[in-house]
């Protein structure tokens, strides 16, 4: 377990030139967590991953989610909680007056550096309006990670001319997120038109034989277009985080940096 003495020992070895700066950074990057009995909060995930731990609120009581978010907010300027209900938000707001809630994205967040610069390069597509909760979760994730997604919504394959109108924009992107339910055909169509990598997000939108998004997931996994990577059903956060990592590497900056 890391404590003040063990950290001081590492810094002392660096000062005495017994350990390199790179070795010390690697050691400190493995710093553990804050144990609050029902959760072990990974405060140093930003060192390893470029962005702080994100709280998945579903399955947690409002009190548990609020406690974790408050502990994170004490150490980082940006906090994200996904799959949050209004009850989760209200519990967090009692302790953190600057917490905000997005009903569409089903997410709560804190951003104490709202005016920082965002990087362009990510295009976010949604096949239909019913896919917006997942798309907006991805958009919020991107924003908090320092990226400015260009949203293009309601361009599903049932009206392909709506998508083709935006091809010049798609071809200028570094990475494209495509959110779709039903049969999940849109990511393969997009990938066949552009060079950039496509992150496909199947949603649970659809009638009975969609099997809660399984049909879209299998369709995307079986796309004949190259350059398609697929995240889990309704996982807008996962798509947003992956797109941020790709765009940051292309821009030559850290994932969560401003």
pLDDT in tens, 215-248: 999 999 999 999 999 999 999 999 999 999 999 9
**Contacts by residues 207-214 (CB-CB < 8 Å, ≥ 24 positions apart):** 210/181, 210/182, 210/183, 213/181
Confidence of residue 50 (pLDDT cuts 50, 70, 90): confident
Average pLDDT over residues 156-178: 95
Average pLDDT over residues 18-23: 89
Please give the Cα distance from 3 to 175 (Å, whole number). 41
**pLDDT at residue 10 is higher than 90:** no
Does the pTM surpass 0.95? The reply is no
**pLDDT at residue 34 is higher than 90:** no
Cβ–Cβ < 8 Å for 69, 108: yes
Confidence of residue 30 (pLDDT cuts 50, 70, 90): low
Average pLDDT over residues 32-45: 80
Average pLDDT over residues 101-126: 94
Task: Give the closest residue to 109 by CA, choosing from 101, 97, 117, 118.
Answer: 101
């Amino acid at each position: 377990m890391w404590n003040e003495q063990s950290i001081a020992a590492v810094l002392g070895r660096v000062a005495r030139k017994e350990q390199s700066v790179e070795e010390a950074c690697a050691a400190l990057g493995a710093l553990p967590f804050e144990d609050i009995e029902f959760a072990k909060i990974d405060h140093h995930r930003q060192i390893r991953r470029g962005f702080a731990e994100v709280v998945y609120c579903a399955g947690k009581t409002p009190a548990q989610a609020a406690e974790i978010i408050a502990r994170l907010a004490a150490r980082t300027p940006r906090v994200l909680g996904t799959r949050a209900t209004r009850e989760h938000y209200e519990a967090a707001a009692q302790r953190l007056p600057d917490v905000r809630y997005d009903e569409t994205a089903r997410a709560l967040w804190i951003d104490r550096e709202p005016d920082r610069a965002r990087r362009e390069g990510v295009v976010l597509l949604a096949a239909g309006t019913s896919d917006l909760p997942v798309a907006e979760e991805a958009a919020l994730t991107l924003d908090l990670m320092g990226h400015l997604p260009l949203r293009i919504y309601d361009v599903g394959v049932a009206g392909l001319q709506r998508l083709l109108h935006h091809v010049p924009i798609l071809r200028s992107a570094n990475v494209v997120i495509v959110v779709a339910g039903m049969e999940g055909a849109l990511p393969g169509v997009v990938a066949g038109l552009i060079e950039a990598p496509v992150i496909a997000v199947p949603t649970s939108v659809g009638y009975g034989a969609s099997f809660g998004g399984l049909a879209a997931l299998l369709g995307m996994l079986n796309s004949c277009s190259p350059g398609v990577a697929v995240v889990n059903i309704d996982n807008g956060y996962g798509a947003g985080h992956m797109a941020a990592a790709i765009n940051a590497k292309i821009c030559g900056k850290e994932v969560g940096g401003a």
